[in-house]
Amino acid sequence: MEFTKIAVDVFGGDRAPDVVLQGCELALEELPEIELHLCGKAEVVDPFASTHPRCVAHHASEVIEMGEHPASAVRQKKDSSIVVGCRLVKENTCGGFFSAGSTGACLAAATLVIGRVKGVKRPALGIILPSYNSPTLFLDVGANAEVKSSNLLQFGQMGGAYAKAIMGIDQPKVGLLNIGEEDTKGTPLIQEAHLLMSKNLPSFVGNCEPAQLTKGDFDVVVTDGYTGNIALKTIEGSASMIFKYLKDALLSNTKSKIGAALVKPELAKLKDKLNPDVFGGSPLIGVAGVCVIGHGSSNAEAVKNGIKVTAQTIQADLPKVLAKAVSVSSIHHEG
């Protein structure tokens, strides 16, 4: 049996390296088919690799911190755990890379070191939203602050292919995030993208209003990385605001306090359901190798889920699926 080989950034995330190694331990227990390639400082990765099965240590003396400028950090810190991990993918030692470190640095390293899938103009960062009716793949949530309409079309092609291959949705419905249903709504760019997607993407079903995004009316929703990042963080911020208000409301008097004690277990489950950690990270879609980025606040369970998603994505051979999806289109746009 051929192992699924995954490079792991042991020094990525707010609670690295301890929490990452705990996550690796959980993943090794649950997934007998994986082999982990641990990237990080020798004094940390060596002892772990020597005491765990299916582990290989790769030394990386540097760490890219959360606040650093992504592209310069990637260029300067060539021996960082993120760059070393991406290099393992580039050299085909590993099929994919998982990191809970700086999203910007992972994006930069993946693009610079691994490169793009043939035909893909711009890779996009996706996230699986815990929308009410069914999960929704939302992209781009931060890789490209500015895009052209042809990029949005490709995001739709790639997103649809991802939903089919990884999420198991046979005929994914693809939408375009916009402020209204009508094709005359939004900026000129969005109107142009609407037209382009209507003509060239059979799975395109129209504009998705923000309320539909969290309702789960679409399987895939595309937007530019600026708007997507704003929307994603607004969802997280709104959830956090509502839970704060909820706590105040439940503790406001004796009767509600008794009720709160009774509903507490269900509320804890709900908080977990809405926690982005549980979904195991954001796939970088369009890079010529699998790359999954976990939330900086990931706990061990989230790291395990991230590694699991990385393994599934390698097994589905996402880069090949994407190459096929973007080659279907015969239209040509520069950019």
The site for a copy of itself (CB under 8 A) is made up of: 69, 131-132, 142, 145-146, 177, 179, 184, 186-188, 190, 209-215, 226-227, 229-231, 233-242, 244-246, 249-250, 252-253, 255-256, 258-263, 265-267, 269-270, 273-274
> Contact, 155 vs 161, CB < 8 A?
no
- Minimum Å gap between C-beta 31 and a copy of itself is 29
Residue type at position 82: I
Q: Closer to a copy of itself by CB, 266 or 334: give it.
A: 266
* Strands in the chain per DSSP E: 4-9, 34-40, 55-59, 96-99, 124-129, 136-139, 174-177, 204-208, 220-222, 282-285, 290-293
- Minimum Å gap between C-beta 219 and a copy of itself is 16
Q: Closer to a copy of itself by CB, 260 or 278: give it.
A: 260
- Tokens representing 57 are 């240590």
Q: Closer to a copy of itself by CB, 256 or 327: give it.
A: 256
- Minimum Å gap between C-beta 82 and a copy of itself is 19
Q: Closer to a copy of itself by CB, 133 or 171: give it.
A: 133
Q: Closer to a copy of itself by CB, 33 or 272: give it.
A: 272
Q: Closer to a copy of itself by CB, 15 or 69: give it.
A: 69
Distance of CA 150 to the CA centre of its chain: 22
Q: How many CB atoms lie within 10 A of CB 151?
A: 24
- Minimum Å gap between C-beta 145 and a copy of itself is 5
Would you give the DSSP letter of residue 45? H
Residue 211 exposed, middle or buried by CB count within 10 Å (0-12, 13-18, 19+): exposed
- Minimum Å gap between C-beta 136 and a copy of itself is 11
Q: Closer to a copy of itself by CB, 223 or 310: give it.
A: 223
Residue 149, by phi and psi: left (phi above 0), alpha (psi -120 to 50) or beta? alpha
- Minimum Å gap between C-beta 223 and a copy of itself is 8
CA dihedral 281, 282, 284, 289 (to 10 degrees): 20
> Contact, 198 vs 151, CB < 8 A?
no
- Minimum Å gap between C-beta 193 and a copy of itself is 13
Q: Rg (Cα) of the chain, in Å, rounded?
A: 20
